[in-house]
Amino acid sequence: MVRIGYTMMTEQAGPRELVEHVVRAEEAGFDFSVTSDHYFPWLSEQGHSPYAWSVLGAAAQATSRIPLMTYVTCPTMRYHPAVVAQKAATMQLLSGGRFRLGLGSGENLNEHVVGGGWPPVDVRHRMLEEAVEIIRALFEGGHVNHRGEHFDVESARLWDLPDQPPPLGIAVSGKRSCALAGRLADLVIATEPKPELLEAFDRHGGEGKPRVGQLPVCHDPDRDAAVKRAHAQFRWFGNGWKVNSELPHPDAFASATQFVRPDDVAASIPCGSDPDDFVEAVRPYAEAGFTEVALVQIGGESQPAFLDWSARTLLLRKAFG
């Protein structure tokens, strides 16, 4: 049975609201939750981008059951990997062992803010691999010294370590990232239901490990209103990650999607209130081999109604039982 998760989308709600939403998601019966980690929203229409790690700490204290996870954190530019290790260990303690650390090679949209340019993808992958090495070393305890191609660590130690470090996930979109994840990750993360991604992950050591997908949805009793909102806030999603990782600013995303029509968005994102449409949108992930799928309800103000509807109608357990 595919486990169904809830996404705290930091780009579309403020910090207090995000915590309120994940509390309601726990009450509604979602199996897990994930949190985006952005400095900018994708589009200005989304209107938010609070600091994800503060939100996660508050969520850990406001909830008691639902697992938490970054989806995903880039541990190479905005954050030094030694700092990511400290944040993740602290989150694992605050949550009582409910945290998973999702990592990725990043997007220019968020990482450009610290300067230094935007490296090509092969360099980003080498940076991610080195960052994972540092994070894992710090999770083991003791002092860590590291002199690498991209990072230095000077006698670092995590003084507050959980008994079990958080599982580490890596986001994939192609052959190189799948090979990296297969070798280094405890779980794999992807936003497209492509079986070839999971097959490549398995070939490089990922067989039997969890695989977590993500799916945008737009619930609304008025389907036309849902389509309009999905187009306004999520028309960027169809660009694909090779494009999305390179664009530097919400204005660039607006320009790149200026010719995307509402019907184009509705063809790829389930809109409205028919649970069968949502079930059918999840099905490709299940058939590809994903063990978990986190839903992204589009629109910050629409979260309470979506969560109430999910508790009454959706939660896909019967459909996938």
Residue 191: band (very low, low, confident or very high) from pLDDT cuts 50, 70, 90:
very high
> b/e map of 2-29 (b: 16 or more CB within 10 Å)?
bbbbbbbbbbbbebebbbbbbbbbbebb
| pLDDT score recorded for residue 321 | 46
Our answer to whether residue 129 is catalytic in this structure is: no
| pLDDT score recorded for residue 317 | 54
**Residue 117, token pair as written in the block:** 């340019």
| pLDDT score recorded for residue 316 | 55
Name the catalytic one among 26, 107, 111, 292.
107
Q: What is the pLDDT of residues 300-320, one digit of tens each?
A: 999 999 999 999 887 755 454
| pLDDT score recorded for residue 238 | 86
**Residue 259, token pair as written in the block:** 């010719």
Considering the chain, what is the average pLDDT of its residues? 96
Percent share of the chain, pLDDT over 90: 95
- The mean per-residue pLDDT over the stretch 189-205 comes to 97
**Residue 62, token pair as written in the block:** 């406001």
Provide the angle, in degrees to the nearest 10, between the axes of the packed helices 15-28 and 303-312.
Answer: 10
Our answer to whether residue 38 is catalytic in this structure is: yes
Name the catalytic one among 11, 20, 38, 130.
38
